[in-house]
Structure 1
Amino acid sequence: MFTNFFIKRPVFATVCSLVIILVGFVGFTRLPVQEFPSIDPPVVRVRTTYPGANAEVVETEVTEILEAAINGVQGLRTMTSSSREGLSSINVEFELERDLEVAVQDVLSRVSRATGRLPSDVNNPVVSKDGSDDDRIMWIAIYGDRFSTLELSNYADQFLRNSLETVNGVGSIFIGGERRYAMRIWLDAKRMAARNVTPLDVENALQRQNVEIPSGRIEGETMEFPVRTLGRL
C-alpha cells in the first residue's frame, strides 16, 4: 500500500524526494563538527623591549620581574618566557574555560603594577592576545636593485605596515631583517674629563635636543603658513 501510494502519485513522490534532499543539505552545512570545535585559545603575550641590554640583563631586570608579577593570575595554566638581546617575551596560557578578554585585563593590571620596578630605559610592556600557533603564516619579500636594506625597511614600515594591518584577519605585522636609521657617536674621553662631562650628560643633551616642535605661524593678508622647528637628528 505504501509503495502503491507513491507510484500512483509521481509528482507528490518527486516533491517529497526534493524536500528530503533539501533538508539533508541544510543539515549537513549547519551540523557542528565535534572533533574540531571552534576554540579561541586563551593565550596572552607580554613583549617588552630593553634597547642595548644583553640577554642576561633582560632576563634578570625584566623577565623575572614580570613573571613574578603575572604568576598567580586566576586560571593560569602555563607560563613560558624567552629573553634575548633587547627583547623579553612572556607567553601566558590559561584554562580553556577562562574568558580571554578578562584574562588580558588581569595580566595588564599586574604588568602595570610591576612597571615601576623595571629599569627606566625599558619601554612600556605590550600586552596582547595570541593564538595557539605563533608561527608566521605568510611572508612577503621586498627587494630592489637600487635600494639598500635600510631604505626597504623604511618603505615597508611607512607604507606597507599600516595597509596590511587593516586587512581583515591580520593579527600583527612583523618586518623580518629590518634595519632602522641610527646614529653612532664617538666620545673623546680626555676632552670630556677636562670639561667634567659624562656620557650620561651627552645622552641627555641629545634626547632634549632631538625634537620637532611647532613654532607658531606666519599670517598674511590672504594666506597663513604654519612654522615647524626641524630639530630631529
Structure 2
Amino acid sequence: MLDRLIEIGLRNRLLVLVMAILVMAAGWRAYTGLPVDAFPDVSPNLVQVFTVTEGLAPEEIETYVTYPVEAAMTGLPGVAKVRSISNFGLSVVNIYFEDGLDIYFVRQLVGERLQEAREQIPAGFGNPEMGPISTGMGQVLFYYLEDTSGNFDLTEMRAVQDWLVKFHLQTVPGVTEVLGIGGWEKQFQVDVRPEQLLRYDVTLDQVIGRIEANNLNVGAQFIEHNAEEFVVRSVGLARGIDDLERIVIKTVDGRPVFLSDLAAVGTGGAVRRGLQTRNGTGEVVAGQVIKLFGTNSSAVIAAVEEKL
C-alpha cells in the first residue's frame, strides 16, 4: 500500500506540490488565528451583581442590600452556590452556576430576578446591577492618557477618558467594558452655609428636594392654534453653575430665595479611594480594557491597540 502511494506521488508531482502548499497555507492560517492567553481561563460560570450605596456601613449593606439580592437568586435553575461580600459603600454578590450552562442564558435569569431584589431594597440604598460579561482573566490591557500640551488637569483628563476614549474603545469587537482609573470625576458641588439655612428657616432636605425637582425638563403636550400644533415644554435642566445658583428654594414675603443665597456652588472632584501613578513619579489617568467572555485575547488586544 505504501509503495502504491509513493508511486502515485512520483507520477503526479505537481498535484503533490499543490496539496503541500494548501496544507501549509491552512496550517499558517490556523496558527495565526490560534487563541493566545497568558494563562488558561478556568474561571467558573459566574455572574456578579454590584450595588453601590452612599456611605452605608457593612452591617447595613448586608441587611438591606446584600440579603435581598441573595434571597432573590436562590432557586434559580443551575445555581451551584451564592457568595457575597459587603464592604463600606459596596455590595458584591457572586452567583455561581453549573458548568456547561450558557453565560447569556444565566445572565437573563439573574436579570429577571434582579427586579424582585430592587423592590425589596429601601429607596436610596442603591440599585443592583450585573457586572460585565467577563471573568477574572478578562483584564487584557492597561493604557494611560498623556497631556503633551500641559493644558489639562486630572479632572479634565478623566472627563476625556470617561466621555471620549471609553465609548470609542467599547465599539471594538470583543470589548465588554472599559474602566477609568485615576484623576478626579467631575461633580457640581453645593457647599451649604449653615448660618444661611438658619436665617431663612430652610432645612437641608428642602434644599436637596428643590434641587432635584428643579433640575429636569417637563413636557406639557401641545396647543392647537390656527390649525397648527405648538409643542409646550418646560426647560429646567441645569447646564452649568449659573443655572444651579438660580434655583428658587423658597419665597419670603414675595422675594425668592435662590440657592446662591444659601450655598456656594462650584465644581470639584468626587470622593475617591485610590489613585493611579506611572513609574512612581506622578499621578495619571489610566484605562482598563476588559474583554468579552470567550473571545480571543490576542485579537482583542490587537484591535484595541489599533483603535488607540
Q: What is the TM-score of this pair, normalised by structure 2? A: 0.57
The question of whether the paired residues in 2 share the 8 Å contact of 1:212 and 1:228 is answered with: yes
**1:4-24 deviations in whole A, cap 9, x for unaligned?**
995698333664576478569
**Structure 2 gaps, min length 5:** 222-232, 245-308
- Paired-residue identity, %: 25
5+ unaligned residues in a row in structure 1: which ranges? 217-225
Where does 1:143-182 land on structure 2 (aligned, <5 Å)? Answer: 143-144=146-147, 145-177=150-182, 178-182=184-188
> Match for residue 100 of structure 1?
103
User: Shift of the alpha carbon at 1:122?
Assistant: 3.5
Distance 1:204 1:4, change over 3 A: closer
User: Residues of 1 paired with 2:152 and 2:11: CA distance?
Assistant: 73
Pairing of 1:203-218 with structure 2 (within 5 A)? 203-211=208-216
State the match for 1:109 in structure 2.
112
The residue aligned with 1:221 is none
Q: Which amino acid aligns with 2:10?
A: P
Q: Distance in 1 between matches of 2:194 and 2:40?
A: 65
Contact 1:66 1:114 in 2 (8 A): yes
Whether 2:83 is the aligned partner of 1:80: answer yes
Q: Deviations over 1:38-81 (max 9, x none)?
A: 99953212122223334443333211221121123221123333
1:90 aligns with 2:113: no
Report what 1:70 is aligned to: 73
Measured at CA, do residues 154 and 72 of structure 1 come closer, stay the same or move farther in structure 2, by a change above 3 Å? same
The question of 1:125 aligning with 2:132 is answered no
SS of corresponding position for 1:175: strand
User: Which region of structure 1 is more displaced relative to structure 2, 207-216 or 1-10?
Assistant: 1-10
Root-mean-square deviation (Å) = 4.1
Which residue is 2:194 aligned to? 188
Q: Which structure ranks higher in relative contact order (CA pairs < 8 Å, sequence separation ≥ 6)?
A: 2
Deviates more, 1:147-156 or 1:137-146: 137-146
TM-score (ref. length: structure 1): 0.72
- Residue 188 (structure 1) shift: 1.7
Q: Secondary structure at the match of 1:68?
A: helix
Q: Which AA in structure 1 matches 2:238?
A: G
Determine the C-alpha separation between the residues in 1 that align with 2:5 and 2:78: 63
Q: Report the secondary structure of 2:210's partner residue.
A: helix
Distance 1:137 1:5, change over 3 A: closer
- Structure 1: how far apart are the matches of 2:206 and 2:129? 30
Q: Which residue of 2 aligns with 1:231?
A: 238
- Asked if 2 retains the 8 angstrom alpha-carbon contact of 1:6 and 1:12, the reply is no
Q: What is the rounded CA distance, in whole Å, between the counterparts of 2:195 and 2:5 in structure 1?
A: 107
- 3-state SS in 2 of match to 1:119: coil
Q: Counterparts of 1:203 and 1:93 in 2: how far apart (Å)?
A: 40
Deviation for aligned residue 1:184: 3.8
- The answer on whether the counterparts of 2:50 and 2:93 sit within 8 Å (CA) in structure 1 is yes
1:215, 1:228 within 8 Å by CA — same for their partners in 2? no
Matched with 2:10 is: 10
Q: What is the identity, as a one-letter code, of the residue corresponding to 2:178? A: I
Greater per-residue strand proportion: 2
**1:214–1:229: 8 Å Cα contact kept in structure 2?**
no
Paired with 1:26 and 1:124, the residues of 2 have a C-alpha distance of: 50
Q: Shift of the alpha carbon at 1:193?
A: 8.6
